[in-house]
Amino acid sequence: MANLQAAVESPKAMSVIYLWMAGGVTHIDSFDPKPDAPSEIRGVLGDIATNVPGIRFCETLPKLAKAADRLAVVRNFSHDSNDHLLSQVYTLSGRKVDRTKLFTEPNIGSVISHLHGPRNGLPAYIAVPGVTRPGPPPHNFFVGGWLGSSHAPYCLGGNPAEPDFTVGEKLDDPPALASENLTPRSVSLPSAGHRSRLSRRARLRDVLDGALRRLESLDPVAALEAQHQNALRLLQTPSIREAFSIDDEPHAVREAYGRTKIGGRCLMARRLVEAGARFVMVDYGYDPAYGNVWDNHNAPSQNHPPIQEMCLRGYHLAGMDRAFAALIGDLEQRGLLNSTLVVFLTEFGRTPRINDRGGRDHWGAAGSLFFTGAGVRGGQLIGATDDHAGEPAAHGYSPADVAATLYAALGVDHRAFVHDILDRPRPILEGGQPIREGNRNYPARRDNGEGAVPPLPYSLTRFFGWTCPGAEVSADYAAVGRDGVL
């Protein structure tokens, strides 16, 4: 299997930051504007130039427009469901499900946890803060599934005090500025006496380990043990504990990200990657103060303004733009971007046509996302939608394709098998292929008064600057078939 091994050894990503914006971020008001569409589709927001000739974003993303040369923007993200629950599980796992399997499929980060384990004293899969709960009733989709609860993410926010984001009255215009304590309670060591007791307790646990291992076939016990081990590693490593102290950041850095929830979470993700974290998910979407941040139907119960006004609020696209651009720039300045894959994901886009209430509804047929870092070729568009941003102009890329691309970045062949908690072999993915190509036929823009903008040159034939495992099936792999187990 020499060819396959060579492909797996070539990827660059040492870490992943998974920007999970649950709820369905509007693509037409962000990365895929349609300025020539009718007003009921384009609305009142304009489009702006980016720093890549021929690529334009909506005016809601001025900072990311200046970072477009680092982004590979996928405009043909597409699948066949408009259901939040089914679509979120599909996107988090890369595995298509029905309602009987909402909690059975492991997150992508859980598979990475299973394959590679902790690093530098940090849990293999960390969620910042891990409190997003679609509903009602609230659903926790941050799960290890058939790999077991021990591979669920280590959630900095713990169990939310009120998981139902609909509880409580929402302000008409809640403030975007907000501070969160993202330091896990288990990381606090208030005194030397506590540290001494911790050491004694750790020795006692060593005595009990044999008995504990005999119980670990029970998933709840294994999950508690994993949480204990994660907390113990964090407590015993001062440098790791310091990674959670975002208050140590210079004022200018805090301001660059924005003193918002999403800004603080992105900054925490950078600090964790800098400390050696392998897979960090930033989740933001269902919030007790803001309600459904991205799910902007403008239904009476939501207390939202029209979606295109909502986009300009500091806790919506305006805040996302600032936080994401700061994260990318910060990683690059610190020399981390080349080894860190950053991916922005949401489960689907929004309807092209603005509804009668001024909102946009669920739209699985089309959406936008982006990749950057870890050898991804920036300054390119992947795919396109039709004139109304309603469907991919040609083929689309599914959540399974996105998951395969992410696995490829980490050197994991998505066609391989892993063993579940009952020791049964399971395919990492049941479908999907890594994204490889840019947009060969990007349409020329209309004359905007400055002269017609030429089509984007197609000089990048591969998504990554290296061979993706799974992109081609070697003769050796084909001969082995699907029996290899990681």
pLDDT band of residue 197 (cuts 50, 70, 90) is low
For tokens 């994991």, name the residue: 412
pTM of the full predicted structure?
Answer: 0.85
Q: Write the burial class of residue 117 (CB in 10 Å: 0-12 exposed, 13-18 middle, 19+ buried).
A: exposed
Residues 57 and 33: beta-carbon distance below 8 Å = yes
User: What is the rounded (10 degree) CA torsion for 470, 473, 474, 478?
Assistant: 120
Three-state secondary-structure class, residue 55:
coil
Statement: residue 213 has pLDDT above 60: no
pLDDT recorded at residue 225: 57
Token pair 């396959």: residue: 4
Distances (CA, A) of 183 to 38, 256, 290, 386, 471: 47, 21, 22, 45, 39
Alpha carbons 205 and 46: distance in angstroms, whole number: 61
- Are the C-beta atoms of residues 121 and 237 closer than 8 Å to each other? yes
pLDDT band at 434 (very low <50, low <70, confident <90, very high): very high
Order of strands, sheet of 72-77, starting from the edge strand that comes earlier in the sequence: 154-155, 125-128, 279-283, 15-20, 340-345, 367-372, 72-77, 380-382
Q: With H, G, I as helix, E, B as strand and everything else as coil, classify residue 56.
A: strand
Mean pLDDT of the chain: 84
Give the percent of the chain with pLDDT over 70: 76
pLDDT, tens only, 316-363: 999 999 999 999 999 999 999 999 999 999 999 999 999 999 999 999
Q: Are 23 and 346 in contact (CB under 8 A)?
A: yes
β-strand partners of 340: 15
Helix H or strand E encompassing 362: strand 362-363
Give the whole-angstrom CA distance, residue 381 versus residue 445.
14
pLDDT value at residue 155 = 95
Nearest residue to 318 via CA among 64, 27, 46: 64
Assigned token pair, 341: 């894959």
304 pLDDT higher than 70: yes
Distance of CA 348 to the CA centre of its chain: 13
Q: Average pLDDT in the 228-256 region?
A: 79
Query: What are the tens digits of pLDDT across the range 127-162?
Result: 999 999 999 999 999 999 999 999 999 999 988 878
Q: Is the pLDDT of residue 32 over 60?
A: yes
Mean pLDDT of 204-223: 52
Residue 230 pLDDT class (50, 70, 90 cuts): low
Among 468, 464, 480, which Cα is nearest to 374's?
464
pLDDT of residue 204: 55
What CA–CA distance (Å, rounded) separates 113 from 109?
6
Q: Could you give the CA distance from residue 60 to residue 320 in angstroms, rounded to a whole number?
A: 10
